């Protein structure tokens, strides 16, 4: 790194962590990640009606280790609860230490765009027109091309991997759906004793992991990885010929797109209007990145997607102008 520093602010969800860290890495900064906790009942209110004040979040906890020596050059936040903290901390630290700090929010902050130097807004998200807005294709993430290259191992080739997300407010992720997806993969790809790896995430219910383990307990060519280990996850992306990702996770599909490998999306039945997801799927289908698991095509190529670096390069150019 070149001694630039970033203060990262999130609520602690994996997708938010991955996005902020991915941007900080691509900006070539060291980073300090802090989790924002909004105070009492205030966390239930939208940011636009709350005061930009230290009383709204865990100010003392976040600033306890910030000194003149390790002041951030960037404050990068993601998620609704981190919006006010980002705005307030930039103002507070700039006034106290007289240093220029660039503040960035990933996703729509639902407050005035003028309160941020940059807003990174996915193309599938709501429209927001302002000079500070940079649109991203899919989600930013912390996986790099170098990590994928360094994890490639000719002796660990995997024919197909299924990457599981978990239930959210749009998808229920029930047992029967997952079994149907696995059966579809077995029918489509596993006719010649091919190697099959199933990777769970933090959101994957334990009952589904147990169900899968029971289903494959007597098969040597099926590996189940529920370690939640980042290096093993990157190993899966790097060494799989084909990737299948459940449709509940825009983040995991975006992460897989850095490989340039065929990505099948295992579409789940939505429990409510998933229009943002549909816009995302349409965009990635048009770029030739994803196809439905029900599609018969087995080999295709596309330009690897590394949005964290592309967005970081735009920010660096704009700062120098």
Is 86 contained in some domain? yes
Q: Report the CATH number at residue 83.
A: 3.40.50
HEC string for 59-108: HHHHHCCCCCCCCCCEEEEECHHHHHHHHHHHHHHHHHHCCCCEEEEECC
The whole-number pLDDT of residue 190 equals 83
Domain that holds residue 26: 5-142+309-320
- Counted residue by residue, the chain has a size of 321
In this structure, the answer to whether residues 104 and 136 fall within a common structural domain is yes
In this structure, the answer to whether residues 24 and 9 fall within a common structural domain is yes
Instruction: Say what the pTM is.
Output: 0.92
Cα–Cα nearest to 112, from 136, 91, 128, 93 = 128
In this structure, the answer to whether residues 205 and 288 fall within a common structural domain is yes
Are 227 and 199 within 8 A, CB to CB?
Answer: no
Digit-coded pLDDT (tens) for 111-160 = 999 999 999 999 998 788 889 999 999 999 999 999 999 999 988 889 99
In this structure, the answer to whether residues 184 and 53 fall within a common structural domain is no
Sheet holding 133-136, edge to edge: 30-35, 5-10, 74-78, 102-106, 118-122, 133-136
Q: Report the CATH number at residue 212.
A: 3.40.50.2000
In this structure, the answer to whether residues 84 and 160 fall within a common structural domain is no
In this structure, the answer to whether residues 182 and 264 fall within a common structural domain is yes
In this structure, the answer to whether residues 166 and 210 fall within a common structural domain is yes
In this structure, the answer to whether residues 265 and 247 fall within a common structural domain is yes
Are 167 and 203 within 8 A, CB to CB?
Answer: yes
In this structure, the answer to whether residues 156 and 100 fall within a common structural domain is no
The whole-number pLDDT of residue 1 equals 45
How many domains in the chain?
Answer: 2
Find the range with the poorest average confidence among 91-105, 217-231, 251-265.
217-231
Backbone angles phi, psi at 298, to 5 degrees: -115, -20
In this structure, the answer to whether residues 149 and 287 fall within a common structural domain is yes
Is 304 contained in some domain? no
In this structure, the answer to whether residues 269 and 224 fall within a common structural domain is yes
Give the C-alpha separation, 266 to 244, whole Å: 7
In this structure, the answer to whether residues 53 and 137 fall within a common structural domain is yes
Give the mean pLDDT of 219-230.
93
Is 11 contained in some domain? yes
Is 302 contained in some domain? no
Give the mean pLDDT of 99-116.
96
The whole-number pLDDT of residue 129 equals 84
């Amino acid at each position: 790194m070149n001694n630039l520093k970033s203060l990262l602010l999130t609520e602690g969800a994996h997708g938010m962590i991955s996005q902020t860290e991915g941007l900080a890495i691509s900006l070539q900064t060291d980073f300090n990640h802090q989790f924002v906790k909004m105070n009492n009942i205030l966390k239930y209110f939208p940011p636009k009606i709350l005061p930009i004040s230290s009383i709204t979040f865990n100010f003392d906890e976040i600033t306890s280790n910030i000194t003149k020596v390790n002041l951030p050059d960037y404050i990068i936040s993601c998620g609704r609860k981190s919006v006010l903290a980002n705005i307030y901390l930039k103002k507070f630290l700039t006034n106290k230490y007289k240093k220029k700090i660039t503040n960035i929010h990933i996703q729509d902050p639902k407050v005035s765009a003028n309160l941020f130097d940059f807003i990174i807004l996915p193309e599938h998200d709501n429209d927001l027109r302002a000079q500070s807005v940079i649109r991203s294709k899919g989600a930013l993430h912390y996986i790099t091309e170098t990590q994928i290259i360094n994890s490639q191992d000719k002796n660990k080739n995997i024919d197909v991997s299924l990457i599981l997300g978990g239930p959210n407010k749009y998808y229920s992720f029930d047992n029967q759906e997952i079994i149907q997806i696995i059966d579809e993969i077995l029918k489509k790809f596993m006719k010649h004793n091919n190697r099959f790896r199933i990777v769970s995430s933090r959101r994957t219910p334990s009952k589904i992991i147990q169900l899968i383990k029971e289903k494959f307990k007597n098969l040597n060519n099926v590996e189940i990885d529920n370690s939640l280990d980042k290096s093993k996850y990157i190993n899966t992306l790097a060494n799989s010929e084909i990737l299948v990702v459940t449709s509940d996770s825009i983040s995991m599909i975006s992460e897989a797109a850095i490989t340039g490998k065929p990505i099948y999306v295992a579409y789940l039945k939505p429990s409510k209007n998933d229009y943002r997801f549909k816009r995302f799927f349409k965009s990635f289908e048009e770029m030739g990145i994803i196809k439905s698991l029900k599609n018969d095509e087995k080999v295709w190529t596309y330009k690897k997607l590394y949005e964290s670096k592309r967005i970081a390069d735009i920010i660096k150019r704009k700062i120098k102008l």
